[in-house]
A = this chain, B = another copy of it.
């Protein structure tokens, strides 16, 4: 019953009256845009007079209206189009979608749209030898896992559906005894070692459930433990929770027993094409040989919980502790091996690694006043199968956003800054398309991109908006979300419901909505962590925090269909519409505002709070080593003072002084770059953001200052403590320097203590 809310408290369709009003408002918006565009454009010998903007001063003035014209029915139609056939990266369907988007963008009115190809390392199941997990009895196969997911609805059976596999898996046919390792986290293997040292993992095959951490890390953990192979399955405890009346696809939103989660196993700070780290995968590229240091050296394969039940239900060994138990109707045992000792398990994995071309599509609306400043908005296009959630719900919304901007452009409107539309290829393999693009254009993007706004899956649930962002953009997101109607109650705003359902502080009646740190996992990563472009990402989300699940249930399975989306997540596409509206409005604000809508004070507040957390956790330990937080807090105080002073400068900036405007905008744009250190984090040189980056050691404890937190992670147990303490000291200094660099950035002349 508790689940009911997530299946969709269906909103009433908007009444015809509403659409008429919307169309009217849209027309007014476009007209207004043209007028503003006219006044904003410096023409002939007169000087440019920038339009005051809602973000400057206290008199809000509207820009063009990009909210009302966003149409839910169009998005539905788009999603139907993009989910017709599977469109895995490197396939003809992915290319054909790319060409479709390019042509559509031109038709919609963008100034240009082009395909940008990259020749990258991809990975597929072998065409002739099928991947499987078998049970052997005296060497003879008596069972094997499904070669493909069952077709549960007519029409889900397109011939191009790729069977479940883990991209970049090592090839091989290992045989061995099965050991159950829960989620295959570091702590799971440590528990095994500490409490069951009699179980020798060397040469075994690990079975572990999906969830909690990235599957690539599970593979590396199993490999480090000495396993010959890793079987990943989706346990009902995580993907089909029995709420008394459990319904699985096609009857409900949960994963059926035949579904398996595809996904890559590529672990790297670089991401992007595994063989061209740091550089674009163009024809001239040098491709490294030792790329598979970032890829597992053992076979990895995903199965459904139907198959898993057979494996787990026949295991021997001690029964697991409660925390390790899933929801299958079996007694979960550790192994090693089956209760019938004549049986063992064999993996047959012939997944390839091959170079293919993937395509980005780059659309462009040239800015009128500052064409060399880019607001980049992006979404990936490739899907494991139909991708109705991931990413095509985002792609469907994207095409509606581009339509609205294209219409405006056709009517003569030009934004102050350029808008770049990026439809990325091969995200599912490890952010390949976006990373290669950032690598190819890193100098110009670092010099010119003011922000990157990402939507991967637009709708993964129907509960609330969910946002990840740099603190710089908090205020822009709040402001935009207040303008967007709530999808369930059009009389209230998206902001209100978001705040109610995901409050930053549930006990505070004046709470703001919660905005999460960015973490990793989609195309914002290369923008934010490699070159310091302020970034955000958003989705409409399920009520994840009370469920404790790691993703929507059918994630990366064949059951991510249009039917699934329309039936269980967004019947009326109003959630898609809300995300698209917010996306368009934030982009418009960034592209039109005379002064960039960035809030430096929020950055100060956010990172000071994060540093307080670090200090609380580690101050005593560090003090014993003679390490002080004084320098960092002194730098934070400088940052705070500089931000306050800079806000004064902004408020006093003559809105007619174009050079002064460009100057403060450059400072705002450069602020995130101040946290970029070209030397990168320790052992992760391609993660260059000193404040925000996914922690390499602990996905939960750390959400900021990864350099310090990673170095402190269980330092008392480290083998070479002196070296570890040196890294801590070095990272404390690097952090201080990065914050001081932010201070320098907020001053337009060189500033130093003297």
Chain A: residues with CB nearer than 8 A to chain B? 42, 45-48, 114-116, 278-280, 282-286, 289, 362, 364, 366, 369-372, 374, 418, 420, 440-444, 447, 631-632, 635, 656-659, 662-663, 666-667, 670, 673-674, 676, 678-679, 685, 688, 726, 729-730, 732-734, 736-737, 740-741, 744-745, 748-750, 752, 754
Contacts and interface: CB of A to CB of B under 8 A. Distances in A.
B744 A286 contact: no
Contact of A729 (B286, B372, B447, B733): B286
Contacts of A444: 670, 741, 744-745, 750
A447 B670 contact: yes
A404 to B, nearest CB: 21
Nearest to A277: B679
A347 to B, nearest CB: 33
- Which of A284, A740, A748 gathers the greatest number of chain B CB atoms within 10 Å? A284
Nearest to A279: B737
Contacts of A730: 286
Tell me the number of copies of this protein. 2
Given A663-B371, A733-B284, A733-B285, A440 B631 contact: no
A282 B736 CA distance: 10
Given A286-B726, A440-B752, A658-B659, 19 more contacts: A42-B659, A47-B47, A48-B658, A116-B752, A279-B733, A279-B734, A280-B737, A283-B631, A284-B631, A284-B632, A284-B635, A285-B733, A286-B730, A286-B732, A286-B734, A362-B750, A364-B749, A442-B741, A679-B685
Contacts of A46: 47
Nearest to A368: B659
A663 B749 CA distance: 20
Contacts of A662: 659, 662
- Which of A46, A659, A685, A688 gathers the greatest number of chain B CB atoms within 10 Å? A659
Given A279-B733, A447-B673, A732-B286, A750 B420 contact: yes
Closest 10 CB pairs of A and B: A47-B47, A284-B631, A114-B754, A678-B678, A286-B733, A286-B730, A284-B736, A372-B748, A443-B741, A658-B658
Interface of A is mostly: mixed
A750 B374 contact: yes
Nearest to A679: B278
- Which of A635, A685, A741 gathers the greatest number of chain B CB atoms within 10 Å? A741
Nearest to A374: B750
Contacts of A362: 750, 752
A656 B496 CA distance: 47
B284 A371 contact: no
A366 B42 contact: no
- Which of A115, A674, A730, A737 gathers the greatest number of chain B CB atoms within 10 Å? A737
Given A286-B733, A372-B663, A737-B279, A418 B749 contact: yes
6 contacts: A279-B734, A279-B737, A284-B632, A286-B733, A372-B748, A658-B659
Contacts of A285: 733
Given A362-B750, A443-B741, A369 B659 contact: yes
- Which of A285, A442, A443, A658 gathers the greatest number of chain B CB atoms within 10 Å? A443
A114 B753 CA distance: 9
Contact of A42 (B280, B657, B685, B748): B657
A418 B46 CA distance: 27
Contact of A443 (B278, B420, B670, B754): B670
B733 A116 contact: no
A285 B740 CA distance: 12
Contacts of A370: 659, 663
A658 B659 CA distance: 7
B733 A443 contact: no
Contacts of A745: 443-444, 447
A105 to B, nearest CB: 13
B366 A749 contact: yes
A364 B752 CA distance: 12
Contacts of A658: 47-48, 658-659
B670 A750 contact: no
Given A670-B447, A752-B362, A45 B656 contact: yes
A750 B673 contact: no
A632 B678 CA distance: 25
Given A279-B737, A737-B279, A737-B280, A115 B443 contact: no
Nearest to A660: B42
Nearest to A667: B372
Contact of A447 (B371, B666, B736): B666
Nearest to A728: B286
A631 B42 CA distance: 41
Contacts of A741: 441-444
Nearest to A289: B726
A443 B284 contact: no
A750 B47 contact: no
Contacts of A750: 362, 364, 374, 420, 441, 444
B659 A47 contact: no
A754 B372 CA distance: 20
A631 B285 CA distance: 10
A744 B443 contact: yes
Nearest to A50: B659
A735 to B, nearest CB: 9
